[in-house]
Structure 1
């Protein structure tokens, strides 16, 4: 999923949309208010699509269990942040619960759009299925925590994975790679035979997400121990060199590929090995569209010292102006309960944030990629969520693209990015 920074201008057109949203003609207007019978109705905001459709069916069970009705305002992803910001900033009270991406959380909190939920988490009456903090990677909870207060519950996770054709590797006497060295050797073996590794090396966020995992797997990061930007550290340069070497033995066309093209190359049987995103690997097991269903193995991204994942995560957050905050939290707790998250996974392969689900026998039998996701999640973090993070991502996209196509030395590319970011990271 492509990430977008929070850059919303409340234009006249947006104001008109707000007026429309608040008018009596909007079917969602006043949805958070209790009906004349006293029954509470909540309105949730999330992106539209098959996942939302499945969730609508699940919500019927919540209403049956609690007597609380739920309306879903599901809109296209490209419009979701704008509509949420419009309503939350306007204090319309329309939304009770919003589905927010990790990169939106800091500014939502800063703007006062979200309600701290700590007191609700401690209220046993609102957690009939128990919210278990120990079942989550601490970095998932860090995303929704600000100044010691909790502002949401993690739910839908994505991160890059390595995939490979088990049948093909076995036939060639090869074993599944794990480390940088092993991955390079297998990629070179197939490159010499006319294919290679399929990579999301197009100038864009996919390559940067892969790079974040590589540097962290080598003990590096964007910032040094002093908290200052340190892109050209030895650990980071080594990761960039590995990225260059891997691209040299990649499939033809990889320099213009995103995760989508990698998935298609593996799916069609053209790529013996590749790096894609967890949200797409289910398609590799779909016999209706995949020529390699049942033949694919899954692993965390190649690592130098230990596996490390780059997280993107959606979170259920209670709107600060909700008329029914307790009920909204109760819904969030129900949606993120182990039982509900497992049911959603069984429906459509959703990857939830709960670590225990990645080893659930029923889920693993249906989704063989779950253990690899669980392994990646043990050590995983998001890209930086600071205000200057978009500038950092842009510079790294340029640097990694130049490295991938052999136009720049890895160390020189990172040093150039460091210099260009000097003013933003002082």
Structure 2
């Protein structure tokens, strides 16, 4: 009887030990205050990228015990849905994927939770989370009054692409400056092609123009913060845009980035300007006749290379019931290993500087170094409340220049006058 009781006691002790060990492993996904398991809901746009991310999130759930739900919606509805949920303080979203142009509005409205204390807490960050791996240009976008409101994850900017075989056949080398690019474009234009430009009236043209302006040490505003579109550096950039449009491929005045990409992909365009997010299509051997033949570089410069930046960011919401766990997820999503996995899946360009020269990524996506080079000197479009009106005015001016209906200074003067009541 004593032996039987002893065996029973040992079995009970073992069961208690197993239960105790299981309950302590990864906190069972409990919130920092204990209680039921934590469930986080994240908001981002829908599509293949979101589908890839859903698969990766299974790793996070396994590692932490935290359940993650994704509300992925079309881009056109994303900001509206995020704003509705955060403004009504429903606490439905814990983490939102927000574009840089939305960040100032979200911060001003009190929708976002500052994360400085979490960034400095090593216990909340994966082993390969290195905050210093972020380019300062990206971090500055997410700061307000000295506080940090997000982690950058996905970047895009215009880049130049060129067909190495087509250039070599003509004894030409890849251009870097305005004059070199104009000479190459003219050479091919005289032979019936030219440069592929997204010269259609729209944001693509403005993004490229902003790169040209800043590469020439220009700016849309003067030292006093007043609108100054007609300064000499800006006029020179407008003149280059007009000259380049004159030697562009037939149809370019009706092209956006998508059409430029198709022309390069089909082997029709010897050189062109596209967006980094589409560059992976050029290396798709199943659909691209030029895979392995394309070179990549920053947009040509007047004085120094400069990129016009768009960046998506993971931000913890102010009304999240689990802000600490939400940050933990954001840090995991932006860790080097997770970002590399996402890049290898679909060519997403992460915000981490070290990944631009990662051997595995560069082998599969040779445009990564050009993006990293462009990012060394880069900035967003103006993020003020009236910036959309400035963008619209510049779209009109650049379209008129591209079709040859005006002169550079006159086009910028007309935009300046149209905006006089907006930017006083």
TM-score by length of 1: 0.90
Helix, strand or coil at the partner of 1:394: helix
Deviation at residue 130 of structure 1 after TM alignment: 5.5
Q: Partner of 2:245 in structure 1?
A: 247
Partner of 2:71: 73
Aligned-residue Cα RMSD (Å) equals: 1.5
1:366 counterpart residue number: 364
Structure 1 residue 136: deviation in Å? 2.0
Aligned to 2:315: 317
Q: Secondary structure at the match of 2:362?
A: helix
C-alpha contact (below 8 Å) 1:124/1:130 kept by paired residues: no
Does structure 2 retain, via aligned residues, the 8 Å contact 1:46–1:98? Answer: yes
Q: 1:128 aligns with which of 126, 129, 136?
A: 126
Q: Which residue of 2 aligns with 1:57?
A: 55
Which structure has greater helix proportion? 2
Aligned to 1:100: 98
Find 2:335's aligned residue among 337, 340, 345. Answer: 337
Residues 121 and 131 of structure 1 are in contact (CA less than 8 Å); yes or no, is this contact kept in structure 2?
Answer: no
Secondary structure in 1 aligned to 2:209?
helix
Aligned counterpart, 2:326 = 328
Show the counterpart of 1:299. Answer: 297
- Deviations along 1:113-140, one digit per CA (max 9) or x if unpaired, are 1111111111111113364333222221
Once residues 371 and 149 of structure 2 are traced to their aligned partners in structure 1, the CA distance between those partners, rounded to angstroms, is: 25
For residue 119 of structure 1, give the secondary structure of its aligned residue in structure 2: helix
Deviations 1:85-127 (A, max 9, x none): 1111111111000000011111111111111111111111111
- For the residues of structure 2 that align with 1:306 and 1:46, how far apart are their CA atoms? 35
Q: Say whether the 8 Å CA contact 1:217–1:308 is kept in structure 2.
A: yes
- For 1:287, the equivalent position in structure 2 comes to 285
For 1:48 and 1:253, the matched residues in 2 are separated by: 31
Residue 163 of structure 1 aligns to a residue whose secondary structure is strand
- Residues 364-416 of structure 1, C-alpha deviation per residue, up to 9 Å, x if partnerless? 11100001001001100000000110010010001111111111110111111
**2:161 alignment partner, SS class:** strand
- Aligned partner of 2:170 in structure 1 is 172
* CA apart distance, 1:143: 1.2
Compute the displacement of 1:37 (Å): 7.5
> Which structure 1 residue ranges, 5 or more long, are not aligned?
1-31
Aligned-pair CA distance for 1:160: 0.4
What do residues 214-246 of structure 1 show as CA deviations (whole Å, max 9, x unaligned)?
010011111112221111111110000000000
Output the TM-score relative to the length of structure 2: 0.91
Give the 4+ runs in structure 1 shifted more than 4 A: none
* 1:147 equivalent in structure 2: 145
For residue 391 of structure 2, what is the aligned residue in structure 1? 393
CA offsets per residue over residues 280-324 of structure 1, 9 Å max, x none?
010001011111111111110010111110001100000111010
Q: 2:317 and 2:191 mapped to 1: Cα distance? A: 56
- Distance in 2 separating the partners of 1:375 and 1:66: 36
Structure 2 CA distance for partners of 1:33 and 1:72, relative to 1, 3 Å: farther
**2:218 maps to what in 1?**
220
Contact 1:162 1:299 in 2 (8 A): yes
Query: For each residue in 1:35-69, what CA deviation from the matched residue of structure 2 results, as whole angstroms up to 9, or x when unmatched?
Result: x9721110000001110011011111111111111
- Equivalences, count: 394
Whole-angstrom distance in 2 between the partners of 1:148 and 1:423: 32
> How far apart in 1 are the matches of 2:325 and 2:391?
38
Q: Aligned partners of 1:151, 1:260: CA distance in 2, in Å?
A: 32
Per-residue CA deviations over 1:314-373 (Å, capped at 9, x if unaligned) read 000001110100000000011111111111101111001111110111111110000100
1:216 and 1:108 mapped to 2: Cα distance?
27
Alignment match, 2:9: none
